[in-house]
Chain A
Amino acid sequence: MAQQLNQLRETASQTAGPYVHIGCVPNFSGISGVYDEDLGIAMVNEKTAGERIVIEGRVFDGTGTPLKDSLIEIWQADSQGLYNSPSEMRGTADPNFTGWGRQAMDMDTGVFRFETVKPGRVPFLDGRLQAPHVSLWIVARGINLGLNTRMYFADEEAANAEDPVLVRIEHQVRVPTLMATRKGDTYHFDIYLQGESETIFFDI
């Protein structure tokens, strides 16, 4: 008999359920006085370097109805393409930018909104540059395991055309599902859980 690998198994996921706000954004949910502020609400401050942008959108279910009870987290590089993380070995990120945001959607309209900066480019495994992108993680009632996707910027045509992740997607017809479109300072990014325009979700 060979040795045992002695590898533990990851804890299984369970849905975030309808009351995820109580645990992750209690002030938003009306539970005040326990934490000063909900985590992830503010990604930038007045000293943050880079171009200020807003990311706004909705998440649609298979009937075309926007979700109103979901929670989204984003993770991105700063304007110079550096992550504010101990695992970032290429330099020191902007200390005035967290890179991480968390927002519930508006309980009436389903709109989510992040105030952030446009991220710089970061390398792929082989050193080629990826196009600017934001990583997203979506949880909600009815979603059994958090969904991972990426948001790219439609106006970064040259960078997108050489992005190592985008170019190897077999069904290029689906690539536009990852593209946010710009209007003023706001990038609009809708996410479709099902249907013809189902967003590309990643196994990361």
Chain B
Amino acid sequence: MGNAKPETGAFFPRNRSLHPKAFTPDYKTSVVRSPQKALLSLNDTISEITGPVFGHEILGEKDNDLILNFARPGESALGERIVVHGRVLDERGRGVSGALLEFWQANAGGRYRHAKEGYIAPLDPNFGGCGRTITDDDGYYSLRTVKPGPYPWPNGVNDWRPSHIHFSVFGHGFAQRLITQMYFEGDPLIPLCPIARTITDQAALDQLIAPLDMANTIPMDARAFKFDIVLRGRRSTLFENRMEGN
């Protein structure tokens, strides 16, 4: 944020056509968890345009390194070593500084470290599966991990999730709050996945697929994938009604 002008404008209305609908019966759990009445439109008030700040001081040294942040001393997680990096931008194309990114994923064999997880693939004693970081002044971030494995899940009788990393993104306003998933370029499971297919706008789905980024690959160490994230943009406050006391 630095010395930038405080952001007090309302967010652009959300383009809901690029998001999944709430009711997507091929993803069965959505059937009883999808509101059926129309959403009530609410012009952003100060309750929606404000949001908390996360300072870099909350971060530990290994928070964005899933290869090491759960590993025993001197050991590391098993799997294909990768770097994921990119920028958090708003719809106006400006970098979002100070955005909190939290990510979680299965291990290289497709197994999550979670009490409700039942897949037969083994846990990796050196892999926890969570990480976080905060974007820099340009909105840039990076993390290091192992490529998550695909895994079967109870939906259809033979549904498999493509390799993916879950991302939770916190920008500057509560109305920007977003959770999404990153997929990997070339994965043949993507077009088959009932969760990926909840997005019917092909360009919007393509925007979740990270390409291999050879230029940023670390030789003899880790391949790189680029994943930019776009949050809602704000209107300029120039000719807007001033809020009381403003």
- Chain A residues in contact with chain B, CB under 8 A? 6-24, 26, 29-31, 33-36, 39, 61-63, 65, 67, 69, 73, 75-77, 83-91, 98-100, 107, 122-127, 130, 133, 135, 137, 139-148, 150, 165, 169, 174, 193-194, 198-204
Binding site for A on B (CB under 8 A): 1, 6-8, 11-16, 18-22, 24, 27, 29-37, 39-54, 58, 60, 63, 69-70, 89-93, 100, 102-104, 112-117, 128-132, 166, 168-169, 172-175, 177-181, 195-196, 198-199, 201, 203-205, 207-208, 229-233, 241, 243-246
Q: Do the beta carbons of B172 and A20 come within 8 Å of each other? A: no
The winner among B43, B52, B102, B204 for most chain A CB atoms within 10 A is B52
- Write out the residue numbers on chain B whose beta carbons fall within 8 Å of the beta carbon of A31: 70, 113, 128-130
Contact of A18 with B37 at beta-carbon distance under 8 Å, contacts A77-B47, A90-B244 already known: no
B residues within 8 A CB of A14?
A: 20, 166, 179-181, 195-196, 198-199, 208
Whether the Cβ atoms of A137 and B174 lie closer than 8 Å is: yes
Q: Given A20-B166, A135-B174, A204-B175, are A61 and B41 neighbors across the interface (CB < 8 Å)?
A: no
Query: B158 CB to closest chain A CB, in angstroms?
Result: 19
**A9-B204, A89-B6 are contacts. A26–B166 as well, Cβ < 8 Å?**
no
**In the complex, which residues of chain A have a beta carbon less than 8 angstroms from the beta carbon of B21?**
144
Tell me if A's interface is mostly helix, strand, loop or mixed. Answer: loop
> CA of A193 to CA of B244 in the docked complex: distance in angstroms?
35
Partner of B33, one of A30, A61, A98: A61
- Closest chain A CB from B91 CB (angstroms): 5
Interface pair B204/A12, CB less than 8 Å apart: yes
B104 / chain A contacts, CB cutoff of 8 Å: 19-20, 22-24
Contact B208 A125 (CB under 8 A): no
Contacts of A198 on B, CB cut-off 8 Å?
35-37
The answer to whether A9 touches B51 (Cβ under 8 A) is no
Q: Are A194 and B174 in contact (CB under 8 A)?
A: no
Q: How far is the CB of A170 from chain B (nearest CB, A)?
A: 9
Per the bound structure, the CA–CA distance linking A7 and B51 in Å amounts to 23
- What are 6 A-B pairs at a CB distance below 8 A? A15-B27, A15-B198, A85-B172, A124-B45, A144-B34, A204-B14
